[in-house]
Amino acid sequence: MKFPSLPSLSRIKFPFSLNVKSHARTLRLVVLLLLLGLSGYIFYLNITIREAFEGRRFALPARVYGRALEVYPGLKLTSVQLAGELRALGYHERPDPDEAATYKYTLNGLEFTTRNFVFGDGPQASQHLRVEFADGKVSLLQERGGTDVDLPISRLETPLIGGIYPGHNEDRELLKLSQVPKQLIDALVSIEDRKFYTHWGIDPRGIARALYKTVSGQRIEGGSTITQQLVKNFFLTSERTLTRKGTEVLMALLLEMHYGKDEILETYLNEVFLGQDGSRAIHGFGLASYFYFDRPLDRLELQEIATLVGMVKGPGLYDPRKNPELALKRRNVVLQEMVSLNVITQAQFVMARQKPLGVVLRPPTGTSPYPAFLQLVHRQLQSDYREEDLRSEGLRIFTTLDPRIQHEAETALSQRLAAVEKARRMAANTLEGAVVVSSTQQGEILALVGGREARYAGYNRAVDAQRPIGSLAKPIVYLTALEDPGRYTLITPLDDSPLVWRQPGTTDWKPQNYDHKFHDQVQLRTALAHSYNVAAARLGIDLGVERILGKLPLYGIERQPPPFASSLLGAFELSPIEVSQLYQTFADGGFRTPLRAIREIVTADGKPLQRFPLNVEPVAPPAPVYLLTAALQGVVREGTAQQLVNWLPAELNVAGKTGTTDDLRDSWFAGYTGDRVAVVWVGRDDNKPSGLTGASGAMTVWGEMMKNIQPEPLQPVMPEDIEMVNVDPVSGLRYNEDCKAGVLLPFIRGSEPTDISACVFASADTPKASDNPGANAAVKPGGKQAPEQKNWLQRIFN
């Protein structure tokens, strides 16, 4: 069989003419352009790599620390409380506490060894301490050694309470290569990149294997050296495309051209992703060691190191808390690879393989347990620092937060609101609240609770909730009056009869008392103790509304209330932290101390950057403030807050004020002791009535909290121009000093009553102010007795 002959190629006519020389020139031009483009791209990649690796390589979050517990003989502290402080700092109980961050109980106290720590004012070396206790106080503080040495004071490390993280929420503890155990490096190289120290950044066989799988239709994977992994984590996205893989290869080659193996490895050890803590990403072996084992990397055992290295392949898949079985298998694979490369012995392998994972059940969290306080710190920092510096320069911020007081504030708010809801048959979580606690003289914010769920980093009610303050405003009115001792003293009679106030721009104002009664003439101290609205309103109008409200900036309140008479009774809004600033001034004897949450800031390497010193300014005369404090103590002793005795002993001499707004929407209590100022607000976020007065809501939270933080008694220093006078509590007449029927009240010298009454012992038949309000008018403004009242009193007492 013959096949037909094929025509000659010369006879074939193509539809186009072939110009070989022209196409060759075009091809050369295309190749040249591709080479130029590739060169430019490589040049761009080279610049990117150099810029990232020169100078700062990582965005380090700012670390925020709480207060350091200072221990000294006489400190009100128990062994249980101190042990709690140590555990919160990550200390472990050991029979022999010679290692840093360990402790043990002794017969009369504790022995423990502190860590080396760099405070805001410099480094403090580790100490082996013995602390003993008696009667709820520290009785002995010694440093153990060859000879025990008594110490006047020592301080624990400050607790880490949170961080200000980069936008992608990466967190890490930077390590130098010299701080990394050799076993970890051996394990990493064994399982991830055996040729790390010999290749140029890429593994040709691995790349070929990955390319084959891609061409054959399998997913793109594999072929990554440690250098390539670093490039991917440091510069690129996690997408799986040939273009990204090609870029990864080029950058790995460039990285190896410019930097040594040790630099690349050190950067990788600090960069690798090893887990997730809520919104916080755990990067680097330094932080992962604490996150999974609550110990520094140099104290991990072989099997623990292998667990961390095994997680590099898939932190989510091999998470030892979520998937312990998979994590255990992966750990053992790492150990087996180490044996095969002879970096550990068979005996080490067998011993390590038999041990459990050993991860701590609850990781030390970097997501702050105090989000409301951390938010306040962040806002205060933003006035002085750029946001990018706060999130990347590794600043160390030392704050005023006292974790123990914070815990008591959170617990009191949560438990009391739950109890109130149950007692009043409210739906669960109907009520909300906020708490601010500060130190009396330093103005340091010791605790700040922004809501019932203290760990919820949402709406910060302590700082952002603007609510009418009600009767918390009245002390401003009374202080203004007491600054004029020629007219007003604690026993000056005030008019509590019906009032109609007409003011342009507003409707007629007819204030009412909470009990819907009027009390005619009442002493100033009584009007404040029982929070009579009408008496306070008349007094404020007499003094001048604008005059009183104009004093608010002196006390640290920048917000200007509306210039209406109703503002005298708190018909204007403040946040709990603003109320705290107001009462801070009262508690500190008329000295305004701006509230502060930050003490000092240092750089990542411990160099001082900024201090926040105490700033005190006198804004009110000491004597009138002393009188106001005495009147506020009367609120607790015999007025609207007298039920506080259910929580606190009378010997504390607490000064405070309840606050209740219209329709029982807001419940407030603000008060102070010898060393603490605290403000509590309780209400509803939807602004519906809570059904609570200041005494039935906020005051119960305040009392529960203060009971547990054990404040010091309030004993204000008496100004030189104050004189204590024994007076008849009903008439205000002066008694002899030895008359036990009287009450001792302070007066600014020259304003005290001069007329003396015969001493009459109190009995059931003795008239009280509530029985005959007219008796309160026995002393006119200025302390002078009315003759007609003197005659009436003589008839009664004779």
| Cα–Cα dist 104/748, whole Å | 56
| Cα–Cα dist 675/677, whole Å | 7
What are the beta bridge partners of residue 137? 76, 134
Q: How many CB atoms lie within 10 A of CB 483?
A: 20
Active site residue 304: no
The DSSP result for 496-540, as a single string, is ES---B--TTS--B----TTS---EEEEHHHHHHTT-HHHHHHHH
- The kind and range of the H/E element at 436 are strand 432-439
Please enumerate in sequence order all residues whose Cβ is within 8 A of that of 100, keeping only pairs 6 or more positions apart, or say none: 113, 114, 115, 116, 126
Tokens of 13: 């006519």
| Cα–Cα dist 748/386, whole Å | 50
What are the beta bridge partners of residue 784? none
Q: From the candidates 170, 192, 266, 410, which is the catalytic residue?
A: 192
Active site residue 99: no
Quickly tell me which residue has 């807001």 as its tokens: 666
| Cα–Cα dist 271/536, whole Å | 64
Are 194 and 279 spatial neighbours (Cβ–Cβ below 8 Å)? no
| Cα–Cα dist 631/491, whole Å | 10
CA neighbor of 389 nearest in space, from 609, 692, 210: 609
Sign for the pseudo-dihedral over CA of 735, 736, 737, 742 = negative
Q: How many CB atoms lie within 10 A of CB 637?
A: 17
Please enumerate in sequence order all residues whose Cβ is within 8 A of that of 407, keeping only pairs 6 or more positions apart, or say none: none
First to last CA, the chain: 158
Are 194 and 341 spatial neighbours (Cβ–Cβ below 8 Å)? yes
What's the distance, CA 333 to chain centroid?
43
Question: What dihedral angle (degrees, nearest 10) is formed by the CA atoms of 251, 256, 258, 264?
Answer: 100
Q: From the candidates 368, 471, 580, 751, which is the catalytic residue?
A: 471
| Cα–Cα dist 680/431, whole Å | 13
| Cα–Cα dist 351/316, whole Å | 27
Burial class from Cβ neighbours inside 10 Å (0-12, 13-18, 19+) for residue 288 reads buried
Are 243 and 251 spatial neighbours (Cβ–Cβ below 8 Å)? no
Quickly tell me which residue has 């290295």 as its tokens: 309
Q: For 664, left (φ over 0), alpha (ψ -120 to 50), or beta?
A: left
Count of positions (residues) in the chain: 798
CB half-sphere exposure, 683, CA atoms < 13 A: 31
| Cα–Cα dist 192/21, whole Å | 51
CA neighbor of 343 nearest in space, from 379, 282, 302: 302
- The angle at the Cα of 676, spanning 84 to 422, to the nearest 5 degrees, equals 70
Please enumerate in sequence order all residues whose Cβ is within 8 A of that of 771, keeping only pairs 6 or more positions apart, or say none: none
Tokens of 682: 């309780």
CA neighbor of 106 nearest in space, from 118, 91, 95, 117: 95
Which amino acid, one-letter code, is at 611?
R
Quickly tell me which residue has 């990955």 as its tokens: 210
Tokens of 790: 């003197």
Please enumerate in sequence order all residues whose Cβ is within 8 A of that of 125, keeping only pairs 6 or more positions apart, or say none: 116
Quickly tell me which residue has 């390539």 as its tokens: 228
Quickly tell me which residue has 């804004």 as its tokens: 619
Q: Is 213 helix (H, G, I), strand (E, B) or coil?
A: helix
Which amino acids are annotated catalytic?
A: 192, 471
